[in-house]
Amino acid sequence: MAPLTLPMPAAHASGPPIAAPLPVALRQHAVLALDLGTTTGWAVRLTDGSIASGTAAFRPSRFEGGGMGWLRFRHWLDSMAASAGPLGSVVFEEVRRHAGTTAAHGYGGFLAHLTAWCESAGVPYQGVPVGTIKRFATGKGNAGKDAVIAAMRARGFAPADDNEADALALLLWATDARGGVQ
């Protein structure tokens, strides 16, 4: 995956010094952060620098086939990309361990559809380990859900639940110079 910003020149490099107050990708493209699941938390930094966030439910109803949630997820990705402007990148919470088989299967399905969508749309994507996100947001890699929610509220956001809080923390990690764009 291509880096989100251009590297700053070394002190001994030739040419005039370059100052980049915002990551280059943020000037032209939106960044989408996702906490994947049947209730997906999302946060997006738009091209003007503003941030929007929320949750989206993709659980199939009682009278639908099991694949309907994933079809709605792909449609939601299409509409998010259209409304957010050109997506420069997608970051998602990379879960390496699940509490149960159903959760693992669900996450794998969402991950497969997300990566296939990104590949077909030409959007770079990156998974970020859960501990990295929590450490960035709270200072502690094994922080609980309430701690992440509190950390996002302390930064001025009002997440409705832990899914939205995780997506906000991930977005801040991805767009902060000390986080994802090192």
More confident residue, 13 or 54: 54
DSSP at 65: -
Closest CA to 92 of 127, 133, 46: 127
| Strand ranges in the chain using DSSP code E only, listed in sequence order | 30-35, 39-45, 51-57, 87-94, 125-129
Structure confidence by residue, pLDDT tens digits, 84-112: 888 999 999 988 766 666 666 677 788 99
pTM of the shown model: 0.79
DSSP at 72: H
Q: What is the DSSP string of 3-29?
A: -SSPPPPPTT-SS-----SS-HHHHH-
CB-based contacts of 13, cutoff 8 Å, min separation 6:
none
Structure confidence by residue, pLDDT tens digits, 45-83: 998 889 999 999 988 888 877 788 888 999 999 999 999
Q: How confident is the model at residue 32 (pLDDT cuts 50, 70, 90)?
A: very high
Residue ranges of the domains in the chain? 29-175
Domain 29-175 classification at class level: alpha beta
